[in-house]
Amino acid sequence: MAQKPSIPKGTRDFSPAEVAKRNYIFSTIKTNFEKFGFQPIETPSFENSETLMGKYGEEGDRLIFKILNSGDYFSTFNRALAVYFKVVFSRVIKEIYKDSDLNSVERFKEILTSKDFIDFIVEEVNKTKNEEYKIQDFYNDSLKKLLEDQIDFLKNSNLLNQLFEEKSNVVGEYDFDNNKKLQSLIDNLVENTLGKWLKNVDSKDLTKQISEKALRYDLTVPFARYVVQHQNEIEFPFKRYQIQPVWRADRPQKGRFREFYQCDADVVGSNSLWQEVELVQLYDSVFSQLGLGGVTIKINNRKILSGIAEVIGASDKLIDFTVALDKLDKIGEDGVKKEMLEKGISETAIEKVQPLFNFTGTINEKIEKLANLLANSEEGMKGVNELQFICDNVTTLGLQTAFLDLDVTLARGLNYYTGAIFEVAAPKGVAMGSIGGGGRYDDLTGIFGLKNMSGVGISFGLDRIALVMEEVGLFPEAVLATSKALFLNFGDKEALYAMKAIGKLRQKGIKVELYPDKSKIDKQFKHADRRGIPFAVIVGESEMEREEFGLKNLATGEQQKVDFATLVTLLQ
């Protein structure tokens, strides 16, 4: 019975219509990126593990997909271990077993549990390595540790007693290959020890050995790696955009996938807050062009969060504090307080941040409240002043359709933000998580060896944007990736005439195609209708004689005879 096909949870197939809609969003975002002066780059889908790990906080690191060093790694390793261990261990035991000086089971056990025997086994395994299996030193060390741990097992093993008893029953040469009982006893001894070995492998060490690479979690950290690696080729400030898929081992749900696209725009090499002002305008420009008016661009500043943690006496719990605060809209005030308490933040400290749970008013009113709260924090006041600059200038310059709002609970839970933090919420009435986010990360490249390189960037959540636009009905009919006309096929002679016209139409950028098979005309009309193709072009003998074309509007049923020039005009 054939296996029913499926795809992994959190991934999706896309139909031609869906791809066309996604490409429409891609194109709109890309056009605006380039309009704002950003240049495209691409990076590999996977990075070295050390590039990604430790950059996203504890929660983020758990969501990184790790890649095995080879697709058949475990089975290859197990084959190698079984082959080498069995061959070597069996051979060595047989050689000891044949020794005429071996006259007691105690002496047998003493030999098998000695350090010399353990070292010898490991040495013999090393000698039998080959290119097919490549047992690494790590496994030799683990094998040695196993044998050391198995001393008690070998000393007390009844299998050794049975082996020695069998020795007294054998007269003359020991024919192991033909003595099935003897061979079975040795095989059992090897299998018992081998099973113990597999259980004693250190999982953390094993992880390091089997996975050196991971699928990228986002585009920002790979971008930081790119900047450091190519710093001598880059003209700073460097404005780059990147549109590629990322992967997260998250729990799939509406608007949350394990494979999805990010569309990022970043600037590195500039401390100017005008970059933040422009990024707010970029968000506004893209969503306005997509027709998605009424989005809210939320802004906060990591320095403000640091200042709040400072004034409440919880600076050592900054990450725990911000991660919990960021969940306010998901788990509510009580949930946030509970998580803070669980993370070791005192009730006194939580009482001091009570005003944050009901932080209302205009942007200027909120900034004024923050200034009063953070008056004794130098770091916090820096954040207040930065927010004031960004918000004042965005207000002066104006936005087309988006709204700017200060959200003091916004933290995004990522360790690398150091200044402004952005998040974009869908228009009111649409149940969807954030559809964009970003912020400033002054020291991100420092972890790769490039100090004093400030950066700031934003990301568009393509998949969620597509879901929102679908729900609101914002996709224009013109985005469908379908042909403008289908030429019907009446036979090879007519098809050749049609193909000549098709070639000229395609040169003019008009999407047209020929139905490939000569079949019933009704079937060809139905095919065009199911494909959503608006026109059918009819070319029979009479049309060929007059150098005309029959053009039928499949929506209205209207049909007319036209020359080629008119056909071009009507299909453009």
Average pLDDT estimate for 103-131 = 67
Task: Tell me: pLDDT of 131 over 80.
Answer: no
**CATH topology assigned to domain 298-425:** BirA Bifunctional Protein; domain 2 (3.30.930)
Least confident of 4-8, 64-68, 385-389: 64-68
Comparing 17 with 535, the larger pLDDT belongs to 535
534 contacts 555 by C-beta, under 8 angstroms: yes
Q: Return the pLDDT at 321.
A: 80
Comparing 547 with 174, the larger pLDDT belongs to 547
Average pLDDT estimate for 432-453 = 87
Which of the given ranges, 73-77, 137-141, 355-359, 450-454, has the highest pLDDT on average? 450-454
Which of the given ranges, 45-54, 100-109, 446-455, has the highest pLDDT on average? 45-54
Residues facing residue 46 across a β-bridge: 215
Least confident of 10-19, 145-154, 200-209, 429-438: 200-209
Residues 6+ away with beta carbon under 8 Å from 301: 383, 384, 386, 387, 419, 420, 421
pTM to 2 decimals?
0.73
Helix or strand or coil: residue 394?
A: helix
Convert the pLDDT of each residue in 494-506 to its tens digit: 999 999 999 999 9
Task: Tell me: pLDDT of 209 over 60.
Answer: no
Q: Is 494 exposed, middle or buried (0-12, 13-18, 19+ CB in 10 A)?
A: buried
Angle at 262 between CA 22 and CA 292, to 5 degrees: 55
**CATH topology assigned to domain 482-571:** Rossmann fold (3.40.50)
Going by pLDDT thresholds of 50, 70 and 90, the confidence category of residue 187 is: confident
Ordered by start, the domain boundaries in the chain are 12-68+212-295+429-476, 73-209, 298-425, 482-571
- Average confidence score pLDDT of the chain: 84
Least confident of 97-106, 239-248, 254-263, 459-468: 97-106
Q: Return the pLDDT at 208.
A: 57
Average pLDDT estimate for 234-245 = 96
Average pLDDT estimate for 550-568 = 96
Q: What percent of the chain clears pLDDT 90, i.e. is strictly above it? A: 51
Going by pLDDT thresholds of 50, 70 and 90, the confidence category of residue 253 is: confident
Q: Return the pLDDT at 176.
A: 58
Q: Return the pLDDT at 173.
A: 53
Comparing 427 with 77, the larger pLDDT belongs to 427
Going by pLDDT thresholds of 50, 70 and 90, the confidence category of residue 152 is: low
Q: Return the pLDDT at 235.
A: 96
Q: Return the pLDDT at 413.
A: 55
- Amino acid occupying residue 58: E
Average pLDDT estimate for 469-485 = 87
442 contacts 324 by C-beta, under 8 angstroms: no
Which of the given ranges, 179-183, 290-294, 481-485, has the highest pLDDT on average? 290-294
Q: Return the pLDDT at 202.
A: 45
Q: What percent of the chain clears pLDDT 70, i.e. is strictly above it? A: 80
Q: Return the pLDDT at 82.
A: 55
Comparing 129 with 115, the larger pLDDT belongs to 115
Residues facing residue 461 across a β-bridge: 262
Q: Return the pLDDT at 154.
A: 67
Helix or strand or coil: residue 223?
A: helix
Taking CB atoms within 8 Å and a gap of at least 24, the contacts of 130-137 are 132/80, 133/76, 133/77, 133/79, 133/80, 133/83, 133/84, 134/80, 135/77, 135/80, 135/81, 135/84, 136/209
Residues 6+ away with beta carbon under 8 Å from 313: 346, 348, 349
What CATH number has the domain spanning 12-68+212-295+429-476? 3.30.930.10
Task: Tell me: pLDDT of 380 over 80.
Answer: yes
Query: H or E element: which one contains 100?
Result: none
Q: Return the pLDDT at 132.
A: 42
**Do 12-68+212-295+429-476 and 482-571 have matching folds?**
no
Convert the pLDDT of each residue in 491-536 to its tens digit: 999 999 999 999 999 999 999 999 999 999 999 999 999 999 999 9
Task: Tell me: pLDDT of 375 over 70.
Answer: yes
Going by pLDDT thresholds of 50, 70 and 90, the confidence category of residue 177 is: low
H/E/C letters for each residue in 120-146? HHHHHHHHCCCCCCCCCHHHHHHHHHH
Task: Tell me: pLDDT of 147 over 90.
Answer: no
Task: Tell me: pLDDT of 557 over 70.
Answer: yes
Average pLDDT estimate for 366-375 = 92
Q: DSSP letters of 480-535?
A: S---SEEE----HHHHHHHHHHHHHHHHTT--EEE-SS---HHHHHHHHHHHT--E
